[in-house]
A = this chain, B = another copy of it.
C-alpha cells in the first residue's frame, strides 16, 4: 500500500525544495491536501508564474520579472557607489542594514576554477562595461569571506584599478567563513562603515 499515484507524485515533486526530504515532503503534501487547499492552489499558480516570468535584471543580474529591476531604476540612489555581492539574499541583507545607498551588482556566485566558474560566469564582462560608463567612483566588494570570496575580491579590485575606480572591501564584523545573509543588520552596517580601500 502506498499513497495514491498523484499524492506520491506530489510528495516526490516537493523534494525539489532545498532541505526537504521524503518525510517532510509527505508531511507537506498531507497538510496541503487536508488543511490548506487554497494555499496549495495559490502556491501552484504563483510558482508557475514565477518560473515562467522571472529572469535576470540586465543591469545588476538580480532576479526580476522586468528587464531592469526596481532597485536599478531607483533614482534616489548614489550612482557613484556600486556594491558587488554574490547572491540576491546578500542584496536584501545589506540594504536592510541601512549602511549602503548605492547600486548593486550580483556575481551569482564567486570565482571557482575547479567548478568551471570563471569571469564569464560571474558576469565580469557586464561589470567591466558598467565601470567603463564612468559613473561609478567606488566599488564596494561584499563577496563572502571564504577563500573563493577573497580570491574573487582580489580579481574585482584589479578590474576596478584598470578603470581608475576605488575598490573597497566590507570589513569589520563579518565573521570569517560566514554567509552575509545570516549576519545581523547592525554588524553589516558596521562592516560597511569600516570598509577598507584595497591597494
A→B interface (CB under 8 Å): 1-7, 9-10, 13-14, 16-19, 24, 26-34, 36-37, 39-51, 53-54, 62-66, 69-71, 74, 87-89, 91-92, 95-96, 108
Contact = CB atoms under 8 A, between A and B. Distances in A.
A31 B17 contact: yes
Interface majority SS on A: helix, strand, loop or mixed? helix
Contact of A63 (B4, B14, B47, B48): B4
A51 B32 CA distance: 8
Chain copies in complex: 2
A189 to B, nearest CB: 15
Contacts of A7: 50, 54, 63, 65, 88
Contacts of A63: 3-4, 7, 30, 33-34
